Structure 1
Amino acid sequence: MMVEATPLSGSTAVVTGASSGLGRATALRLARHGCDVLLLARRADDLDAVAHEVEAQGVSAHTCAVDLASGDLARVVRDALAQTGPPSVLVNAAGTDAPGPARETSLEDWNRVVAVNLTAPFVLAREVMPLMAARGGGLVVNVSSVAGRRGWAGASAYCSTKFGLTGLTQSLAAEGRADGIRVCLVYPGAMSTGWGEFDDAAPRRTPPVVSSRDSLDPAAVADLVGWMATTPGAPVLNEVTITPLMEHGWP
């Protein structure tokens, strides 16, 4: 398949949570823009399947099976980037949750949510942004949630990390500006993937989704990320909220 001729042609993108859902859709969208893609997630078999889909777009795919909560994440990512070269795009799409009341949330579960949802984007950005600066610029997209704008019961860890991701993104944007690095935050509403957009298998608590009409196709969010990656460097789009036409209110 012929890829689109875009400013991304021949560059490399890094996508976390790439084994399914939004991460997979984003990897495929960037591949269609001509990016080679480094795919990160825990499930090696699923990553291999997505890699075949990416390569069918006429670009290269590299897989890195890693637990984003691992203390070894920085080294693993550094080794992977040594094979792919400096990326032009990083999309932190992975996430996890520990649903339930705060009084019933263990410290272990809390720490895992913080590690995957907040620490991993920090580690990835810390490794990638110097490489982007050396090549003259790049784009970092952090995927938040409507939970980054409003908290609700039974999601203290998830909402806290998504609120924290806003501050991280704003700080990274300020630091990257002089090097031509754009750092953007996307707030998607509920997506029609259940837990597919996450790199975990546990259920999560979100605003209720009653039908497919009330939820976003992850491909639509991926198209937005692809558009952001191919737009000119100025003006900079710092934050975007994308939601379905919800017929029902949040709890």
Structure 2
Amino acid sequence: MKKTFWITGASSGIGKAAAILLVSEGHTVFATSRSMEKLDQIAQQTAGMPGKLFVIPGDISNHAEVERVYEEIIKQAHPDVLINCAGITSFKKAEDDNLPDILSVINTNLLGSVFCIKAVLSGFIRKGGGHIINIQSIAATKVLTQSSIYSASKAGLLA
């Protein structure tokens, strides 16, 4: 059975690979990222594949942006699966991190995922189910000395 996916962080890495694979298997994918240019590249790569790819730029660290993106998605379809792949890091020792860097990483990696979960949850409950996949890192359980804030943000998703 074909499914509808919402993938955050779809412009690179695991999110991009998942989007391309799922579209190649005939699924519908709503790809979200801050970079419209990178999303357009994925759209070109998936053109002609059996599934459908819709690109919707947005910054998941901003709750209002998440709500806007989700409203655009549900105009077309209700997701069956949310895959939270969006993530950023700051390659600094904890003592060198500044407040803007800390907030940016926490707001994207932890709160952004929470905002997306909150957006899909009522729809999943109404239709009797859905799946949420939060992409993790070994950093969630093993602190990286050059990126402790990243580790903290990923550990927060395990809680």
Q: Partner amino acid for 1:73? A: E
Say which one has the larger Rg: 1
The structure carrying a bigger helix percent of its residues is 2
| Correspondence 1:97 to 2:84 | no
Q: Which one of 29, 37, 45 corresponds to residue 29 of structure 2?
A: 37
Cα root mean square deviation, aligned: 1.4
Instruction: Give the aligned partner of residue 102 of structure 2.
Output: 110
Instruction: Give the aligned partner of residue 85 of structure 1.
Output: 77
Aligned residues: 159
Distance 1:37 1:54 in 2: 11
Instruction: Give the aligned partner of residue 48 of structure 1.
Output: 40
| Correspondence 1:149 to 2:126 | no
TM-score, length-scaled by structure 2:
0.92
Structure 1: state its 5+ residue gaps.
1-6, 168-251
Structure 2: state its 5+ residue gaps.
none
Distance 1:49 1:149 in 2: 34
Instruction: Give the aligned partner of residue 236 of structure 1.
Output: none
* Deviation, structure 1 residue 113: 0.2
* Deviation, structure 1 residue 20: 1.7
Instruction: Give the aligned partner of residue 67 of structure 2.
Output: 75
Does the aligned pair in 1 maintain the 2:34–2:59 contact within 8 Å? Answer: yes
Distance 1:30 1:89 in 2: 11
User: Once structures 1 and 2 are overlaid, which stretch shifts more, 147-156 or 46-55?
Assistant: 46-55
Q: In percent, how many aligned pairs have the same letter?
A: 27
| Correspondence 1:19 to 2:15 | no
Deviations 1:61-87 (A, max 9, x none): 111111222242232223222222211
Q: Partner amino acid for 1:105? A: D
Deviations 1:149-187 (A, max 9, x none): 1113121110001111101xxxxxxxxxxxxxxxxxxxx
Instruction: Give the aligned partner of residue 166 of structure 1.
Output: 158
Distance 1:159 1:93 in 2: 15
TM-score, length-scaled by structure 1:
0.60
Distance 2:91 2:151 in 1: 10
Q: Which one of 114, 119, 123 corresponds to residue 127 of structure 1?
A: 119
* Deviation, structure 1 residue 30: 1.7
